[in-house]
Amino acid sequence: AQSVAQPEDQVNVAEGNPLTVKCTYSVSGNPYLFWYVQYPNRGLQFLLKYITGDNLVKGSYGFEAEFNKSQTSFHLKKPSALVSDSALYFCAVRGENTGFQKLVFGTGTRLLVSP
Amino acid sequence: GAVVSQHPSWVICKSGTSVKIECRSLDFQATTMFWYRQFPKQSLMLMATSNEGSKATYEQGVEKDKFLINHASLTLSTLTVTSAHPEDSSFYICSALRAGGHQETQYFGPGTRLLVL
């Protein structure tokens, strides 16, 4: 069975500092990994994905994520946080052999960037 | 980009009535759409997978007669909450799958907040 763990309910960081939001996964076969961001009372916005290729994936709004197969991790990073980055972040995964391309989501990590 | 819309964005209804929510992919065709439910401060729970031209596939524990899904075209899926009750109050989010081999990505609508009185 597929699963995603986001071990931190909340991450606090000061504006201008680097940020990391952690994600580990478990799937059978090769993983398809995604990060989404959700602002209050809104749907999810796609940030980036890893399907194959380079382990470092660059996405929207200056975010990037690094796929680490040995550690089964896909942590989200940004070199310099903005107050406007404050939101709820979801990591999601599906295995390459999963029918109907269903995603399994983590429980979400709230990012709070202080001025 | 890939844009997905939902309508309405919020709805208040009386207990026992039915509510229809529309999900549209505006700039791409989606043979597969998904319906999720999100409770406050929780993750998304997949309710069902909607495939154009065929019956939806429901997740375990989701009543198919309660949550009717129709995927009549490549750009439109609808979710009808029948005989709604207060416990159906929630935030419903749809997504549309933009396929293309390894480039597949789910794009989400803005969500519909349902309040059943």
* Per-residue pLDDT tens digits for B43-66: 889 999 998 888 899 999 999 999
Q: Does B92 touch chain A if contact means CB atoms closer than 8 Å?
A: no
Low pLDDT (below 70) residues in chain B: 1, 101-103
- pLDDT, position A100: 55
> pLDDT band for position A99 (50/70/90)?
low
**What DSSP string runs through A16-27?**
TS-EEE--EEE-
The confidence score (pLDDT) of residue B99 equals: 77
CA separation, residue A77 to residues A8, A44, A103, B86 (Å)? 14, 18, 21, 40
Rounded CA separation B25/A2 (Å):
27
Residue A41 has pLDDT above 80, yes or no: no
CA-closest candidate to residue A23, choices A56, A62, A71, A59: A71
CA distance A107 to chain B (A): 5
User: Touching check for A51 and chain B: CB below 8 Å?
Assistant: yes
The single-letter DSSP state of residue B59 is P
Closest by CA to A102, choosing from B63, B34, B4, is B34
Q: Which amino acid is at B59?
A: E
At residue A58, the pLDDT reads 95
> Tokens at residue B34, please?
């998904």
Q: How many helices (H) and strands (E) does chain B have?
A: 0, 11
B104/A43 Cβ within 8 A? no
CA distance B46 to B34: 7
| DSSP assignment letter at B98 | E
